[in-house]
Structure 1
Amino acid sequence: MMFEVSGDLLFLLIVAAFAAGFIDSIAGGGGLITVPALLLAGIPPVTALATNKVQALFGSGMAAVNYARAGYVDVRRQWVAAVISFAGALIGALFASSLPTDVIRLGLPVLLIGVALFFAFKKGLDDVDRVQRVTPLLFTAAFVPLIGFYDGLIGPGTGAFFMIGFVSLAGYGILKATAHTKLLNFASNVGGLTGFLLVAKPFWMLGLAMGAAQLAGAYVGSTLASRIGAKLIRPVLVVVSTVLALKLLWDLI
């Protein structure tokens, strides 16, 4: 499906995609930038969500590859979790038009503020692994599909929720948690797009153009995060979660 867009508007959408790729590769929340930008461009909501999934694939994919190359995530050991994240998002996307998501949207700002407070004030959060509170099997079977389903159903905050799970339940350090988050977020983006393709048609050319910008932004962001670690990821995560919560509260007014 084609979408006519002026050169100025296309430039703004590409800039938004680059910024989203940069932020999302560090702390998640890239959809906070790209979804409103697509809606402001006059794209219908469901089509905007589908188009957003197209371009988000490139950012999360690049970040996942970059973190894997740096040795922070072993894809071969995480492929089962990635498949489960994919399946959860696929189911969530199929239910996106039929479930009462207003209830979830009311509680989401509270959850995101909780995430921001956790990472802002929790002592000892750094790049060192901590005590594992649940087994990898339980984490993969219970937590991963839940967040994957949420990503397909609604989306904003998925990266932050994966992060807090990896840190507080799996006991990962912040940088390792970020790396694993991007792999599972990439899988959920693929699943979400697959589900949306059954109910909507994205604007492919626009999505691919924004995807190229996402690639660049994600490369820069994940490279910086790999070098700096928790000193960069932690404050960005707090700011992004807070801004996303405030944005959602504003939309409810």
Structure 2
Amino acid sequence: MPYTELITLCGFSFLAGFIDAIIGGGGLIQTPAILFTLPQYPIPTLIGTTKIPSLFGSLMGAFQYSRRVAVLGRFIAPMMGIAFCASWLGALTLTLVPNSFMRPLALTILVSVFIYTLLKKDFGQGTPRAVTERQQRQRMWLMGVVIGFYDGFFGPGTGSFLVLGFIALVGFDFLKASAHAKLVNASTNLACTLFFASKGYILYTVAIPMAVANLSGAFLGARLAILKGNQFIRVFFLLVIAATILRFAWDLTR
């Protein structure tokens, strides 16, 4: 592979890691970049290759957040295990049935999320919600099943859906939601990585340099999000959701 192509992919991977660490959505940058740059390879191989940098970036983001944001360890650990299994099952299901119906469904949900977040100024800004520990546990584990399966079966927007779920269902603010989302996303990325690796769908000579770039971007993105706080993350959330909507809409009209 020409070094120019690898350098280009690493640049996109750095940007993806930066954005993903703040609010999720790095796949919007990284996946199209590799599909466009390396069209000679099968799509499963390219998707599998992006999972390693996504995993590295998620782990870095999770590490940075966990050092500065209180994490519900007794709830999040089981949720990560549930999400791991659900993601593996989703990836396996993808090899058996098409996922074309997911794009219009995800588009509808994202448009609703964007409008709601835009209009509700205090959404995710630290306003306490009356959610009991039992409700938190049940809702987090249910999210692990649903969003974990979604990540393995389809994927785009997983980080944003996790953040939304932690805010709307569990009562977190944006910063705390992002911290927990990174941990869960790391477990789903690990499941997908192991699945694609077992099928031989990874270009390691491409994945490893991209992983280093993604990790570096995630380090800076997480530090910036922690420094700037909830309002900054909210703006990024709206931008990422808008970009996801545009991408899905473009795909549907092609």
- Give the Cα–Cα distance (whole angstroms) in 2 for the partners of residues 227 and 101 of structure 1: 38
Kept after mapping to 1: 8 A contact 2:76/2:140 = no
Out of 32, 37, 40, the position equivalent to 2:33 is 37
d(CA) in 2 for partners of 1:189, 1:45: 17
Q: Does residue 131 of the first structure (1) align with residue 130 of the second (2)?
A: yes
* Deviating more after overlay: 132-141 vs 237-246: 132-141
C-alpha distance in 1 between matches for 2:157 and 2:60: 19
Aligned to 1:206: 206
Q: Please show how residues 70-149 of structure 1 align to structure 2 within 5 Å.
A: 70-75=68-73, 77-125=75-123, 126-132=125-131, 135-149=135-149
Deviation at 1:112, TM superposition (A): 1.5
Q: TM-score, normalised by structure 2?
A: 0.93
2:19 is the alignment partner of 1:23: yes
- In the superposition, the TM-score normalised over structure 1's length comes to 0.93
Contact 2:85 2:191 in 1 (8 A): yes
Letter in 1 for 2:26: G
After the TM superposition, which parts of structure 1 deviate over 4 Å for at least 4 consecutive aligned residues?
74-77
Aligned residues: 249
Which residue of 1 is the match for residue 190 of structure 2? Answer: 190
Q: Deviations over 1:4-32 (max 9, x none)?
A: x2111111101100000000011111011
Q: CA deviation at 1:71?
A: 2.9
Identity of aligned residues (%): 35
State the alpha-carbon separation in 2 of the partners of residues 224 and 117 from structure 1: 26
Q: Which runs of 5+ in 1 are unaligned?
A: none
Q: How far 1:178 moved relative to its partner?
A: 0.6
Q: Within 2, Cα distance between the matches of 1:31 and 1:131? A: 33
Letter aligned with residue 135 of structure 1: Q
Of stretches 141-150 and 53-62 in structure 1, the one that deviates more from structure 2 is 141-150
Shift of 1:166: 0.5
